[in-house]
Amino acid sequence: MTEPKHAYLFLCVANSARSQMAEGLARWIFGDRAPVQSAGSAPTRVNPYALEVMAELGIDLNTHHSKSVQDVDPNTVGTVITLCAEEVCPVFLGAARRLHWPIPDPASPDPTIPRDEMLRRFRTARDTIRDMLERFAREEFGA
């Protein structure tokens, strides 16, 4: 049985980029050692740039969808990791360990930002989250 602290929820506002990438990366890095989910306080849709940069690593987020933190059963979460940097992070009311990894939001509603710049921003966020998760997995699982 999975230890309660080894059930992870990644949170950001829209559950469209950072938390979705973290969920996909954590499943890839943690394997079957821990259940992983993500959610947001104002869910929208998975960002197409997140889909694209994760596919570069062979991680398919096409079956993912944005979820509300209000729909997460607190009994399924041992550790909440918030990923907000410049915005207010969602609140999770369950009795879980809380960690905060401030990652700047790569998404932008500004249509003048070139595609190459958006991809760079999403790759930076993805790679930062990946590095943090790899270190975290070594601490959590001794791997």
Catalytic residues: 12, 84, 89
Tell me the C-alpha distance between 15 and 21, whole Å. 9
String of b and e for 62-76 (b: at least 16 CB within 10 Å)? eebebbebeebeeee
Show the CA angle centred on residue 63, arms to residues 133 and 141, nearest 5°.
Answer: 25
Element (H, E) at 99: strand 97-100
Closest CA to 10 of 82, 98, 104: 82
